[in-house]
């Protein structure tokens, strides 16, 4: 299960086998680079041009800072987790072996009146793994990473909730795209990249875009969907969000919208005035500039262990990408001209 694999930013090695299992049957060749990016290449005919797809495989995580003298593991945020969402959660510590733990939360009876309702700081939290101090020190060290643990839950109506759906939902969409391409005729070489270290400034896509030098790059990520406590326009279950704005090449935006309409797939528009905060941002300015697009799966509760998406949106995202690729004209220069 993609969402249940563990790989905090910079520590994605544990995901390689999962990616291989996912993509080997769908690609002509799979390989990894020394940075930790994973590539699945599918050859089109004549295969003159390269279309790069990028979805990040890393997830938000924590890191061990010390083991206190009562046996609680202290930690800090690697990047991107809101400490308010951590109390009473299950985690996995990636030490000499994987150790399951829970982040403790003080019983309400013991919380002093002056502290009630106040957020607890991350440095005041501790992970309980049930071992003595001496036993813990044998398996866990300062610097070990910690990821959230949560089984993917099926809610009603094809909606699922779990951890790391940012951006394993994007990885799943890339897999759907390659699967769809099996049944289609398409021209370019397609390289689906599961990028490393996106959550720490899109670093995996910097090196993979440079390596591939594609004619077209499309990032597939998740985007904030409307939930109980916000009034955002993008909604779950209404199809992928196609981005437009300075980060996006206008011909690719138009091509994606045309593809969605021709393939009768529902889609939403997402104007992004500045930086997109996704792999599209780094892809666009790689080398001499790469024409870049961005398609996002609507997601609720980002960077928590109950990230929620509609499976239908994930599938539509993959289908949209496949249709876009299969209908690209051979004259890409003309297509990209604006």
Q: Which of 198, 199, 215, 307 is catalytic?
A: 198
When computed from its CA atoms, the radius of gyration of the chain, rounded to whole angstroms, is 21
Total chain residues near Zn ion (CB under 5 A) = 3
**Residue 89 CB contacts under 8 Å (≥ 6 apart), including other chains:** 102, 103, 148, 149, 150, 305
Identity of the residue, 181 or 297, whose beta carbon is nearer to Zn ion in the bound complex? 297
Work out which of 12, 58, 144, 166 binds Zn ion, going by CB under 5 A: 166
CB of 281 to Zn ion, least distance (A): 12
212, 194 contact by CB (below 8 A): no
The answer to whether residue 313 forms part of the interface with Zn ion (CB under 5 A) is: no
Identity of the residue, 180 or 221, whose beta carbon is nearer to Zn ion in the bound complex? 221
Write each residue from 107 to 136 as x if it is in contact with Zn ion (CB under 5 A), else as -, in one continuous string: ------------------------------
What strands lie across the sheet with 189-195, from one edge to the other? 29-32, 38-42, 189-195, 50-56, 216-224, 292-299, 241-244, 268-271
CB of 28 to Zn ion, least distance (A): 27
CB of 136 to Zn ion, least distance (A): 32
Identity of the residue, 12 or 166, whose beta carbon is nearer to Zn ion in the bound complex? 166
Identity of the residue, 51 or 171, whose beta carbon is nearer to Zn ion in the bound complex? 171
Strand pairing category for 90-94 and 73-77: unpaired
CA-to-CA dists, residue 108 to 101, 104, 112, 254, 320, angstroms = 21, 12, 9, 54, 49
Identity of the residue, 215 or 279, whose beta carbon is nearer to Zn ion in the bound complex? 279
**Could you give the 3-state DSSP secondary structure of residue 103?**
strand
CB of 272 to Zn ion, least distance (A): 14
CA-to-CA dists, residue 334 to 328, 329, 338, angstroms = 11, 9, 9
The candidate with the shortest Cα–Cα distance to 191, out of 335, 316, 317, 38, is: 38
CB of 263 to Zn ion, least distance (A): 25
SS3 annotation, 27-95: CCEEEECCCCCEEEEECCCCCCCEEEEEEECCECCEEEEEECCCCCEEEEECCCCCHHHCCCCEEEEEC
Whether 198 sits among the annotated catalytic residues: the reply is: yes
Work out which of 41, 59, 167, 279 binds Zn ion, going by CB under 5 A: 167
Identity of the residue, 67 or 207, whose beta carbon is nearer to Zn ion in the bound complex? 207
Rounded Cα distance between 247 and 86, Å, is 33
CB of 69 to Zn ion, least distance (A): 38
Write each residue from 218 to 257 as x if it is in contact with Zn ion (CB under 5 A), else as -, in one continuous string: ---x------------------------------------
Residues 189, 190, 195, CA angle at the centre, nearest 5°?
140
Identity of the residue, 204 or 291, whose beta carbon is nearer to Zn ion in the bound complex? 204
Rounded Cα distance between 188 and 317, Å, is 19
CB of 254 to Zn ion, least distance (A): 24
Q: Which residue is nearest to Zn ion (CB)?
A: 167
Residues 126, 60, 139, CA angle at the centre, nearest 5°?
45
> Rule CB under 5 A: which residues touch Zn ion?
166-167, 221
Residues annotated as catalytic are: 198
């Amino acid at each position: 299960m993609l969402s249940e694999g563990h790989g905090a930013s910079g520590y994605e090695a544990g995901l390689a086998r999962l990616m291989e299992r996912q993509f080997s049957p769908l690609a002509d060749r799979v390989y990894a680079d020394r940075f930790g990016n994973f590539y699945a290449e599918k050859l089109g005919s004549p295969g003159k041009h390269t279309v790069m797809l990028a979805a990040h495989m890393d997830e938000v995580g924590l890191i061990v800072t010390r083991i206190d003298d009562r046996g609680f593991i202290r930690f800090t945020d690697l990047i991107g987790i809101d400490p308010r969402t951590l109390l009473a959660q299950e985690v996995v510590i990636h030490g000499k072996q994987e150790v399951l733990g829970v982040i403790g939360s003080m019983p309400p009876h013991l919380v002093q009146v002056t502290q009630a309702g106040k957020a607890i700081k991350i440095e005041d939290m501790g992970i309980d793994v049930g071992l003595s101090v001496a036993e813990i020190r044998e398996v866990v060290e300062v610097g070990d990473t910690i990821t959230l643990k949560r089984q993917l839950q099926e809610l009603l109506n094809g909606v699922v909730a779990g951890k790391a759906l940012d951006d394993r939902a994007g990885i799943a969409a890339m897999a759907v795209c390659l699967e769809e391409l099996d049944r289609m005729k398409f021209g370019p070489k397609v390289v689906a990249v599961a990028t490393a270290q996106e959550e720490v400034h899109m670093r995996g896509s910097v090196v993979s875009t440079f390596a591939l030098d594609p004619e077209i790059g499309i990032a597939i990520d998740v985007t904030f969907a409307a939930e109980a406590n916000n009034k955002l326009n993008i909604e779950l279950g209404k199809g992928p969000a196609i981005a437009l704005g300075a980060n996006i090449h206008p011909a690719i935006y138009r091509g994606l919208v045309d593809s969605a309409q021709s393939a009768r797939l529902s889609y939403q528009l997402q104007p992004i005035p500045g930086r997109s905060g996704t792999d599209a941002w780094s892809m666009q300015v790689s080398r001499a500039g790469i024409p870049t697009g961005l398609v996002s799966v609507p997601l609720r509760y980002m960077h928590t262990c109950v990230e929620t998406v509609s499976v239908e949106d994930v599938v539509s995202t993959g289908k949209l990408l496949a249709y876009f690729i299969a209908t690209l004209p051979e004259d890409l220069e003309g297509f990209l001209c604006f």
